[in-house]
Amino acid sequence: MLPFAGYFKVLKEVTRHILRRPVVGIAAAARTEDGRWLLIRRGDTGQWALPGGTLEWGETLRKAIVRELAEEAGVDRVTLSDVLGVYSDPNRDLRFHAVTIVVGAIITAPTRPPDNPVEVLEVRLFDESEIPISLAHGMSQMLELAQKGERFWE
């Protein structure tokens, strides 16, 4: 049985499909000072992904990414850097049309588990050589370009 928060997340996804409008998402290309990259393993696909989520009503992008890093990855100390990419291809994510803004961040290692274990199954720091080849929802390109320091927008 899903906890209440899990049901709420499902309801939000259904609502997005009904409204048929692009949603604004933000994702962190986050790494520790020693160069390890933070990824989460998603509950919906079982694949690894950048931590992030959608902008909530009345929230700034800065507050959203700090909130998402805390909720999804248990990260409490974040130093944000530049916008690294803006991804708007409607075919990138089959769930809905998302405009995702990727932001660079330097973080400390996670200190606690994710808030919603239905949404996020696992959190891990990866050395560059360990990063999975394929990330969820078209995020492989996002991380690859962030690692190279290349800016991207579509």
Active site residue 56: no
Residue 16 has pLDDT above 70, yes or no: no
The rounded percent of the chain whose pLDDT value lies above 90 is 77
The CATH number of the structural domain formed by 4-153 is 3.90.79.10
Domain boundaries, the chain: 4-153
Predicted pLDDT at 76: 95
Question: For residues 83 and 2, what is the distance between their CA atoms, to the nearest angstrom?
Answer: 35
Alpha helices for 20-101 (secondary structure H): 61-73
Say if residue 127 is exposed, middle or buried (CB neighbours under 10 Å; 0-12, 13-18, 19+). Answer: exposed
Residue 36 has pLDDT above 90, yes or no: yes
The helices-and-strands tally (H runs, E runs) of the chain is 3, 8
State the chain's mean pLDDT as an integer.
91
Q: What are phi and psi for residue 37, nearest 5 degrees? A: -95, 140
The rounded percent of the chain whose pLDDT value lies above 70 is 93
Predicted pLDDT at 92: 82
Q: Which of 59, 71, 122, 144 is catalytic?
A: 122
